[in-house]
Every structure is written in structure tokens, then in C-alpha cells.
Structure 1
Amino acid sequence: MADDPDVPDFEVPVGMFEDLEDLKAHVAALTAQVKALTETAGADPGEAFADDDPASEENHDGGTEEDDWQYPPFILLLDPPQYDDELRALIEWVEGVLVPGYLGEPTSDSRWCHLWFEHPVAIARLHALWLAWQELTDPATCGYTGPSVWHRDHLDPCMRELRPSNGPFAGCTKGEHQIDHRMPGTVPSAWRNDLGE
């Protein structure tokens, strides 16, 4: 046992092993992020990114548009069919996990709209909540504290913004829905990163 460098020579409290496992998970996640960033950044750290020039022809070396996104994009910036696919997956998660597990009966102080997917602010916030849930419930990246962090930093603030009496569902009551909350046909161009258009 003394020859093994991973086994300490002193008695370690049990809680410390859990902390070490959390740290290992965070280090593994950060290492993967650094590797992904350095692979896309080019060989020299001082070089400018190729993506900085939107008019550059060299930006696309045979890759698809999906390769341009390293992380899931902001859902309201997606175009069909990507938007439709992402919204379908989000609806499945909200209706299958969030609603039955976390949302009680709507009240005047804690509102919910059964047509939440027609409220742009609800789509945006719930999509962000879902992305955080995916990351913080994945044992490879979250460690032991991931679920607690998700509840504290993501679920609770999201519900405080969506469900108050003056929130986005303020006009929606049981059996009624305000039609003027429907999604706009196009996302305002100011939201897009396309500087060249």
C-alpha cells in the first residue's frame, strides 16, 4: 500500500473522498473543454481565430454548419428544422420530467401555461434550464454536487422568473391562453451573430 502513490499514508475522512471525486470530475470536464478549445484555436496561441473574419473563405474546410457549434446554441436563433427538433426534445423533457416532478398545481401566485411552448421567454428559459440539467446530471461531468447546483443555480431562479403573477404567464389562467403570446415568425436580426448579412 505504501508503494501506491494514489493511496495516502494517513487516515482520510470519508467526506474528503467525495470531494476528491467531485474535483476529479471537474478536472476531467475542464480538460475536455481545454482540449476542444485548443484544437479549434490553431497551432499558435498568438494567432487570430479563423472565425474572426466572417467573409473569409478559409473558414470552411469541408465541415458542415453543425461543426460550427461546439455547444448547444441559443434556441431562439435556430432555424427550422433544427429549431423544430430542439423544441420537440425540450417539450419531451418539460412534459416528462419538469412538469410532473417539480410543478405543482398552478395558482394565482405560481402560474403555469399548458401552452408554454408558445411563449418565447418560456422557451428560452426552459431550454437553458434543460441544457444545464443535461450537464449537471451527467455523472461524467457533474460530480456529487451537480444535482444540487442545478436546483440552486438553475431551477429555482428559472421558476422565480417564469411563474410569478406578473411573469410571462400572467394572462394565462386555467383553460385560457393569451393568443398574443405566440412566437414571432422570425427572430430579430439584432439577435443574430451574422454580421455579414
Structure 2
Amino acid sequence: MADEPDEVPKLDVPVGMFEDIEDLKAQIARLSAQVEALTGDDGAELGEASTDDDEVAAGGQAADHAEDEEEWQYPPFILLLDSPEYDDELRALIEWVEGVLVPGYLAEPSSDARWCHLWWQHPVAIARLHALWLAWQEMTDPVSCGYTGPSVWQRDHLDPCMRELRASTGPFAGCTKGEHQIAHRLPGLVPSAWTQPED
């Protein structure tokens, strides 16, 4: 054949490049599957009408189909939950705090870095630690956050949360190693322009 060159040029390809390409292909496949799952895409090409569009145009039951799909659930704010959901969420939070956070990240309590062994009796601590735990769940998922998720979690979530909780003015301010106090964090009566003190 006249179109083929006499000699095929040799390409210098780095050894790990093929593995990198295969990793990228796998990541693209996972992301594509996530996008399809989140958008409900049935694989139609751009510009093609989906079956849902056809049903709506024909006066079909697309609204009923949408109601059948599972509704997106946002993470709960623990202080707004009622029992038994609150109890279940608090139990899971306690397991994470006592099993991961305390042994892995907390140093010995001191006057500059306070901690209460009964932290779950402080609503402010519950709220902050629950938010920290939700962020941990998201940021340690390698599918959504890759390799940098844990670092970002520590920088953006763990460190600020611990600074607030363990500060000398934080929710554990009245707690010492041998004593637990929660009454010191309850707000006092705030004067109001709408009410006048009785004479």
C-alpha cells in the first residue's frame, strides 16, 4: 500500500500514563452514572425528546411519575428533629464523636482547650458536632471528594469547629475535668424595649 509509511515512528509514552488514562475513564464513568441518577436522564442524546416530555405533550401522567420518584432528602438539622429521629441521630453522632473524633483528634483538655465528657448535654455542642459529622460523611467519600476531601474537611470544618467548642468562652467554659455544668450556658433575661419592669 502506498499510503502506509515505510517506518512507524516510536513514541515515548511515560510508563504510568496508561494507568492514569484508565483511572480517568473509570472516574468519568462514575460521574456519568451519578449525573444520570441525579437528573433521571434515560440516556437520550442532546436534542432528543425524552419519554417524559412526550407524555407531557400528549397529556400523559408525567406529574404522577415525578411524585413516585424518591424525593431528595437534605441532611437534618439535629436540633429540629423530634423523637425518635432525634434519638437515633444523636446515638449515631455519639458513636462517631466517641469512636473517631475524640481518639483521633482531641488532645488532653486544658484551660485553653476545654472539653466536656458529657458534651451531649450541651445543645450548642450537639449542633456544632452534628454539622461537623455531616461534613465528615461528605468529605471522606472518595467518589465525590477524591483524595483531598479529608484535608479540606480538617481545614474548613474540623479546625474552626474545635476552636469554637474548645475556646474558653465556648459551651464547655464552666466544665472542668471533675465538674460538669450546663446552666452557665443558658441565656439570661434580655431587657426588651417592648416590656417595662414592674414598679
What is the correspondence of 1:24-173 to structure 2 with a 5 Å cutoff? 32=34, 35-36=37-38, 38=39, 70-173=73-176
**Partner deviation per Cα, 1:73-96 (whole Å, 9 max, x = no partner):** 111111111110010000000001
Further displaced range: 149-158 or 25-34: 25-34
Q: Confirm or deny that 1:176 pairs with 2:179.
A: yes
Unaligned runs of 5+ in 1: 1-8, 45-57, 184-197
Q: Report runs of 4+ in structure 1 exceeding 4 Å deviation.
A: 9-14, 24-31, 60-63
The verdict on how the C-alpha distance between 1:140 and 1:84 changes in structure 2, with shifts beyond 3 A counting, is same
**Partner deviation per Cα, 1:155-193 (whole Å, 9 max, x = no partner):** 10110110011111101111111142799xxxxxxxxxx
* Per-residue deviation, 1:72: 1.6
* Per-residue deviation, 1:71: 2.6
The verdict on how the C-alpha distance between 1:130 and 1:111 changes in structure 2, with shifts beyond 3 A counting, is same
Amino acid in the other structure paired with 1:109: D
Q: CA RMSD in A?
A: 3.7
* Per-residue deviation, 1:32: 3.2
* Per-residue deviation, 1:145: 0.5
State the identity %: 70
Task: Check whether the contact 1:25–1:143 (CA below 8 A) recurs between aligned residues.
Answer: no
Counterpart position of 1:48: none
The whole-number CA distance in structure 2 between the counterparts of 1:112 and 1:27 is 45
The whole-number CA distance in structure 2 between the counterparts of 1:89 and 1:140 is 23
Structure 2 length normalisation: TM-score? Answer: 0.62
The SS at the match of 2:154 is helix
Specify the structure having the higher radius of gyration (Cα): 2
Task: Check whether the contact 2:135–2:157 (CA below 8 A) recurs between aligned residues.
Answer: yes
The verdict on how the C-alpha distance between 1:27 and 1:157 changes in structure 2, with shifts beyond 3 A counting, is farther
The verdict on how the C-alpha distance between 1:73 and 1:11 changes in structure 2, with shifts beyond 3 A counting, is same
Count of paired positions = 153
The whole-number CA distance in structure 2 between the counterparts of 1:27 and 1:125 is 36
